[in-house]
Amino acid sequence: MAFLNVLGDLGGGFATAVQPFNILMLLVGVLLGLIVGVLPGLGGTSAVAILLPVTVVIARTSPTSAVILLAGVYWGALFGGVITSILFNIPGEPWSVVLLFDGFPLAKQRGKPGVALASSFFASFVGAFFATVLFTFFARAIAEWALSFGPPELFAVFVMSFATLVGLGAESPAKAVAMIGLGLLLAAIGFDTITGQPRLTFGQIGLLSGVGFVPVTIGLFGIGEILASAEESGIGFMERLKAQVGFRDIVETLGELRKRIWMVISTGVIGFFFGVLPGHGATAGSFLGYGLARSYFSKDKSNFGKGEISGIMAPQAAADSAAVGSLVPMISLGVPGSPTSAVIMAGLFIWGLTPGPLLFTEQHDFVWGLIASIYLGHLATFLICLSAVPLLASIMRVPYAILTPFIVLISIIGSYSLNNSMLDVFITILFGLVGYWLRKMKYPLAPLVVAIVLGDSTERTFRQSLIASGGDPRIFVGTALSAVLLGLAIVLLLVPAFRTLRVRGKPVDALKEARTSEAAVAID
Amino acid sequence: MRLCQAATGLAFMGLAALAMFDSRAGALVDRSGGEPGGIGPGFYPFWSAALMFVAAGVVTYESQARGHNEGGIVFESRDAALAVIKLAVPMIAMTVALVWLGFYIVSGAFMGLFARWIGRYNWLWVVVLAVAMPLAIYLTFETGFRVTLPKSVFYEKGLLPI
């Protein structure tokens, strides 16, 4: 019965998603995502953040159209980053870094750029499809379960989210904790929501309304990335290969996919559940997929690094699935699963919606329209990619001297236009410089972004719990659920210590490999 | 790199110390019943800052004591550092100039500067880009999305339309 209910809701979602304006928003989003995915200087997260002010106008008539636009950018960027990795040996996005290992060698050394591209597109599509099916059936169940949560349980969920970022995510747990602390502090600036007293404003009237999430994110990801890109283009090189996916390439790829279909589905499903964990977006998923392909799904490991198709398909399937999975906690619990979903979640707040379990009942059409659009978005992206690779690859030829100032100006407009505030512009530039430096120092940005988004909610649930208990902290372990979640958080916080002890006993190669996959999470 | 890691860790510690100092009044649980739940507005920022302070302390210690040398050097080459400076300095100057010159004059100048300085385009292309970019932004944002962007002091005095 529940199964039929979900199918009915999904049918309603498709009816919403296929409305002409929503289809237009989806296509615009996907195309923008593909473009930013191809451009090394601009990522999916920053593009979504820059577009937020524009979505305010769209959301006045339909929040569903606005979220479809932003989600479309996410899906487009997931596919777009692949093209530059395979054809130019330059990752357009952090999650396509892993494709440098086998994608570029298959294209260059083995002379099969079309097969390399088609392999990634097909794997992305298949992985994302299975992930979206799981999303369809799991998200509501989680949301219905979460409706029974009170402030102590919600506080425990938030603490576990932070613990996940520290325990499973970062190369350096101490850096992740420092970034979480910074994010919580930034979220606390301005009026205290319970007593109304100003905090951390240092007498500055401009800070009374707090530090906006959007200017900070545009700075960290938009300006920070363009500065990093400027540095790389100063020292970089570019390999150019023939950019086309022909009919023969598709036929050959389908044959290869058939041989690896269980690997693609399995890495897709695993990637989905990995993406559900807070802070683990597509980048971490892509490295996880690569590791699984090499360790468990391939008998002959000698071809990895030389153009092995499994080394393209598995990470792509896992990356796309993880990206889809990262939306599940955002929609059902109000906890973002990745930096991009954190920005989308900020959009929901700006449009007057509250992400979390009530969204399924209060904004039924919105949620199911979004879910249906994930199916359509991936289909549209897949078809556009197969047919328009040469056009997309040509975007890389826009000169640096035009592209770079253009991105800076668009970032500034994005941060200014939300509140018509010059302070937001200064914050964007400041965090652009800070974000660039922190990347160089290998500080993970995901914990900072997630902490800014969740900071207010974490404090609110913490204080509500204490008010309800009359100041008795035992309320946090008063129910089995909150006690288990806090226990899990403690275990997760101890993971880095166990990992250090375990890795110490391993040979140098294994240590390097472990660090590579951890670094991926740090980027994410 | 070790020095930069330590400096970054110390900067984090400094920020955290500042926040702790600012919210020190509410750092402890209030047993007198004056605050709801015994927690004042300063409690959460104080302990968030304390968490940041300790973590940054660990980062600073690790960067020195264990001899971490993550990533080797800060910049791969002199050209790489120059490329960043060439972007960062005009960007900061542009942001400051926005307050007086407004978005349209500054965006035109910024595009023109990059086209001439970095791209080495001829003057005709420089002028085309410097005019086309603000015009496209005006048509898209002011006309299309009804987003009003900051204008110059000349606009306020009625001397220029932007």
The whole-number average pLDDT for the span A335-363 is: 86
Tell me the average pLDDT across A203-215: 85
pLDDT in tens, A260-292: 999 999 999 988 988 887 666 777 788 888 888
Q: How does residue A514 score in pLDDT terms, banded at 50, 70 and 90? A: very low
Q: Write the residue in B16, B29, B79 that is nearest to A181 by C-beta.
A: B16
pLDDT of residue A524: 45
Please give the pLDDT value at position B76. 77
A-interface mutation test, from B52, B137, B141, most A Cβ less than 10 A away: B52
Helix, strand, or coil here: A191?
strand
Q: Are residues A222 and A411 in contact, defined by beta-carbon separation less than 8 angstroms?
A: yes
Is the CB of residue A338 less than 8 Å from the CB of residue A279? Answer: yes
Considering CB atoms only, which of B84, B115, B150 is closest to A422? B150
Rg (CA), chain B: 25
Question: How close does chain A come to B52, measured CA to CA in Å?
Answer: 4
Parse chain B into domains and list their residue ranges.
Answer: 2-65, 78-156
What's the pLDDT score for residue B92? Answer: 95
Helix crossing, A173-188 with B2-22: angle to 10°?
40
Q: What are the tens digits of pLDDT across the range A70-124?
A: 999 988 888 887 887 788 776 667 777 788 889 888 988 888 888 998 999 999 9
Rg of chain A, C-alpha, whole Å: 22
Separation in Å, CA of B45 to nearest CA in chain A: 6
Q: What is the mean pLDDT of residues A229-257?
A: 73
List C-alpha distances in Å: A282 to A5, A87, A290, B65.
Answer: 30, 20, 12, 34
Q: Is A473 exposed, middle or buried (0-12, 13-18, 19+ CB in 10 A)?
A: middle
CB < 8 Å & 24+ apart, contacts of A6-13:
A6/A136, A6/A137, A6/A140, A9/A140, A9/A364, A9/A368, A10/A136, A10/A368, A10/A371, A10/A372, A12/A364, A12/A365, A12/A368, A13/A365, A13/A367, A13/A368, A13/A369, A13/A370, A13/A371, A13/A372, A13/A373
Express each pLDDT in A158-202 by its tens digit.
898 888 888 766 678 899 999 999 999 999 999 987 888 899 998
Asked whether the beta carbons of A200 and A27 are under 8 A apart, the reply is no
In A147-218, alpha helices (H): 151-164, 173-188, 213-217
In chain A, where the domains are located: 2-523
Residue A239 has pLDDT above 70, yes or no: no
A-B Cβ pairs (cutoff 8 Å, strict)? 194
Percent of chain A at pLDDT > 90 equals: 30
What pLDDT is attached to residue B146? 75
Of chain B, the percentage scoring pLDDT greater than 70 comes to 96
**pLDDT confidence of residue B74:** 76
pLDDT, one tens digit per residue, over A65-77 is 999 999 999 888 8
The Cα of A426 is separated from the nearest Cα of chain B by a number of Å equal to: 7
The CB density around residue A61, as the number of other CB atoms within 10 Å, is: 10
CB contact under 8 A, B22 and A440: no
Report CB contact under 8 Å: A417, B141.
Answer: yes
Assess whether pLDDT exceeds 50 at residue A29: yes
Average pLDDT, chain B: 88
CA distances, A146 to each of A133, A140, A151, A341 (Å): 20, 10, 11, 19
Distance (Å, rounded) from C-alpha B143 to C-alpha A400?
28
If DSSP codes are grouped into helix, strand and coil, which group holds residue A39?
Answer: coil
Q: CA of A245: how far to CAs of A80, A316, A410, B64, in Å? A: 14, 17, 32, 51
Q: Distance, in angstroms, between A26 CA and closest chain B CA?
A: 19
* Burial zone of A343 (CB within 10 Å; 0-12 exposed, 13-18 middle, 19+ buried): buried
Confidence of residue A41 (pLDDT cuts 50, 70, 90): low
pLDDT grade, residue B66 (50/70/90)?
A: low
Residue linked to tokens 């590579």 = A516
Mean pLDDT of chain A: 84
- pLDDT surpassing 50 at residue A516: no
Segment (H or E) for A190: strand A190-191
Per-residue confidence at A222, pLDDT binned at 50, 70, 90? confident
pLDDT value at residue B26: 81
Residue B159 distance to chain A (closest CA, Å) = 23
Query: For tokens 């059902």, what's the residue?
Result: A332
| pLDDT for the residue numbered A20 | 93
ipTM for the complex? 0.92
The contacts of residue A331 (CB under 8 Å, 6+ apart) are A139, A143, A355, A359, A360, A367, A370
- What count of other Cβ atoms lies within 10 Å of the Cβ of residue A60? 11
Average pLDDT score over residue span A325-352: 87
| pLDDT of A210 higher than 90 | no
pLDDT at A136: 92
Q: Mark yes or no for CB contact B22/A199 under 8 Å.
A: yes
* Distance (Å, whole) CA A398 – CA A11: 42
Interface with chain B: mutation pick from A208, A400, A413, highest number of B CBs within 10 Å: A413
A401–B115 CB contact, under 8 Å: yes
Q: Is the pLDDT reported for residue A522 higher than 70?
A: no
pLDDT band at A450 (very low <50, low <70, confident <90, very high): confident
Q: Please provide residue A336's backbone torsions phi and psi, each rounded to the nearest 5 degrees.
A: -70, 140
> What is residue A212's three-state secondary structure?
coil
The predicted model gives A514-519 an average pLDDT of 45
Going by pLDDT thresholds of 50, 70 and 90, the confidence category of residue A236 is: very low
- The whole-angstrom separation of Cα A67 and Cα A366 is 8
Task: Give the residue, A3 or A189, on which the prediction is more confident.
Answer: A189
Neighbouring residues of A440: CB distance < 8 A, sequence distance ≥ 6: B4, B71, B74
User: Of A200, A208, A430, A504, which to mutate for an interface test with B (greatest number of B Cβ within 10 Å)?
Assistant: A200
Strand partners, A190: A199
Of B41, B50, B44, which Cα lies nearest the Cα of B15?
B50
- For the segment A352-368, the average pLDDT, to the nearest whole number, is 87
As to burial, measured by CB atoms within 10 angstroms (0-12 exposed, 13-18 middle, 19+ buried), residue A72 is buried
pLDDT number for residue B85: 92
Confidence of residue A518 (pLDDT cuts 50, 70, 90): very low
Tell me which residue in B44, B48, B70 faces A442 most closely, judged by beta carbons: B70
- The pLDDT-based confidence of A503 (bands split at 50, 70, 90) is low
Residue keyed to tokens 């392999």 = A119
Cβ-defined contact of A416 to B82 (cutoff 8 Å)? no
- Within 13 Å and on the Cβ side, how many CA atoms surround B103? 28
Which tens digits make up the pLDDT trace of B102-147?
A: 999 999 999 999 999 988 999 999 999 999 999 998 888 888 777 7
DSSP class of residue B147 equals: P
Question: Residue type for A137, please?
Answer: F
